[in-house]
Amino acid sequence: MSDEEARTPAQFAPYGDFTADCPARLAVDLFASGWLPVVVFALREGPMRPGRLREQIGGISQKVLTQTLRRMERLGLVTRHRYAEAPPRVEYELTEPGRELLTPIYALGRWAYRHADTVLSTMTDPEEQTAG
């Protein structure tokens, strides 16, 4: 783990604990958007067309995928490549910040693999067990 990765949130001056401009709030917001980490993970191996992304992800509507990709583009997490072909072709690719998001996504995946049974076994509402 690098020195930067080992820092605690308190070491990221001049931000206060989760104040409005705190980078941690941005990170939490990215993960609160349920589809954004899924799209990042789906793009981990390289550029992909929206139709293929939808097939790979499953369960995401075209509208939500489009909104998520547009947001990711505005945030600088993906680049959109348009090809002047007939019919037109578009591909999305992770930028460096987008690729770096894979680190916490993989960490969250490891946590889920280790603890999903515990969390799911404590849920009483069957709908909570399939939420996600």
pLDDT at 20: 65
Q: Whose CA is closest to 40, among 91, 105, 110, 109?
A: 105
- The residue type found at 34 is G
> How distant, in Å, are the alpha carbons of 17, 41, 82, 88 from that of 6?
17, 23, 39, 45
Per residue in 45-84, pLDDT (tens digit) is: 999 999 999 999 999 999 999 999 999 999 999 999 999 8
Give the tens place of pLDDT for each residue, 98-130.
Answer: 999 999 999 988 988 898 888 888 876 555 555
Kindly tell me if the per-residue pLDDT of 24 is higher than 80: no
- State the average pLDDT over residues 84-94: 91
CB-CB contact of 37 with 30 (8 Å): yes
Confidence at 10, pLDDT banded by 50, 70, 90 = low
Q: Determine phi and psi for 32, rounding to 5 degrees.
A: -70, -25
